[in-house]
Structure 1
Amino acid sequence: MVHIYPFAAVRPADGKAQAIAAVPYDVVSASEAREIINNQPLSFLRISRADALLPDTDPYSDQVYALSKKIFDEYISDGICVQESVPFLYVYRVLHEGRSYTGLSCCVDAREYKSGVIHRHELTRYDKEEDRTRHIDAMNANTGPVVLLHLKNDVVATLLSKSVTGTPLMEVTAANGSIHQIFAVRDSEKIKLIVDAFGKIPALYIADGHHRCKSALNVAERRIEKGINIPEETWHVMGVVFAEDEVKVHGYSRLLTSLGDYTPQTFLTALRAVATITPFEGVEPSSYSITPKQKKTGLHVFHLYLEGRWYECAIQISGAVSRIDSLDVSVLQDQVLVPFLGITDSRGDARLQYLGGARPIRDLMIKVDSGEYVAAIAMQPVDVQTVCAIADDGGIMPPKSTWFEPKLLSGLLVHLLE
Structure 2
Amino acid sequence: MVQIYRFAAIRPARRYSEKIPSVPYDVVTADEARECIEKNPLSFLRVSRPDAELPDIPPNDDRVYRRAREVFESMLADGLMERDPEPGMYVYRAVQDGEEFVGLVCCVPTEDYETGKIRRHELTRYDKEEDRTRHIDAVGANTGLVFLLYRDRQGIYSHLHSLIEGVRPDGSTTTASGVLHQIYRITDDAALSHLEDLFSAVPETYIADGHHRAKSAVNVAALRRREGRFTEEAGRFMVVLFPHDRVRIHGYSRLVTDLGRYATPREFLEALRESGWTVRPCGSLDTEGYQIPPLESDAGGRHVMHIYLDEAWYEISRPIADPTNLLGSLDVSVLQKDILKGMLGISDPQADTRLHYMGGAKPLRELERLVDDGRYALAVAMQPVPIETVLAIADAGGVMPPKSTWFEPKLLSGLLVHTID
TM-score by length of 1: 0.98
Answer whether contact 2:169 2:183 (CA < 8 A) is retained.
yes
**What is the aligned partner in structure 2 of residue 271 from structure 1?**
272
SS of structure 1 residue aligned to 2:245 = helix
Q: Is the 8 A contact 2:154 2:198 kept in 1?
A: no
Query: Which residue of 292, 295, 301 corresponds with 2:294?
Result: 292
Q: Deviations over 1:305-333 (max 9, x none)?
A: 00111110102111355100010000111
> What's the offset of the Cα at 1:209?
0.2
Say which SS state the counterpart of residue 111 (structure 2) adopts: helix
Secondary structure at the counterpart of residue 107 of structure 2: strand
- Tell me the CA shift for residue 230 of structure 1: 1.0
Alignment of 1:205-224 (within 5 A): 205-224=206-225
Residue of structure 1 in register with 2:238 after alignment: 238
Residues matched between the structures, number: 417
Answer yes or no: is the 8 Å Cα contact 1:153–1:243 preserved in 2.
no
Deviation at 1:159, TM superposition (A): 2.3
- Look up the match of 1:19: 19
CA shift digits 1:349-375 (9 cap, x unpaired): 111110011111111111111111111
Aligned equivalent of 2:398, options 389, 395, 399: 395
- The counterpart of 1:308, out of the listed 305, 308, 311, is 311
Q: 2 CA distance for matches of 1:319 and 1:416?
A: 47
1:153 Cα deviation after fit: 2.8
Shift of 1:174: 1.0
* Cα displacement (A) at 1:84: 0.8
CA distance in 2, matches of 1:182, 1:293: 42
- The one-letter code of the counterpart of 1:322 is N
- How far, CA to CA, are the matches of 2:291 and 2:158 in structure 1? 33
Aligned partner of residue 272 in structure 1, secondary structure = helix
| 1:229 positional shift | 4.3
- 2:329 match: 326
Change (3 A) 1:147 1:231: same
Q: In the alignment, what sits opposite 1:168?
A: 169
The superposition leaves residues 157-199 of structure 1 with CA deviations (integer Å, 9 ceiling, x where unpaired) of: 2320221131100111012111011111111110000011111
Counterpart amino acid of residue 30 in structure 2: A
Per-residue displacement from partner, 1:71-104 (whole Å, max 9, x unpaired)? 0000000000000111110000101111100000
Q: What is the aligned counterpart of 1:356 among 327, 338, 359?
A: 359
CA contact (8 A) 2:47 2:72 kept: yes
**Counterpart mapping for 1:141-156 below 5 A:** 141-156=141-156
Matches of 1:41 and 1:156, distance apart in 2 = 38
- Please name the residue that 1:380 is paired with: 383
1:86-105 mapped onto 2 (5 Å cutoff): 86-105=86-105
Distance in 1 between residues matched to 2:337 and 2:410, nearest whole Å = 30
Q: CA contact under 8 A between 1:8 and 1:87: conserved in structure 2?
A: yes
* Alpha-carbon distance in 1 for matches of 2:153, 2:246: 11
Corresponding residue number in structure 2 for 1:189: 190
Q: Is the 8 A contact 1:120 1:205 kept in 2?
A: yes
CA distance in 2, matches of 1:252, 1:202: 29
SS in 2 for 1:183: strand
The residue identity in structure 1 corresponding to 2:279 is I
Secondary structure (helix, strand or coil) at the match of 1:341 reads coil
Pair 1:80–1:379, CA change in 2 (3 A): same
What is the alpha-carbon root mean square deviation over aligned residues?
1.0
Alignment of 1:26-41 (within 5 A): 26-41=26-41
Unmatched tracts of structure 2, length 5 or more: none
One-letter code of the match for 2:205?
L
Unpaired segments ≥5 residues, structure 1:
none
Identity over aligned pairs, percent: 50
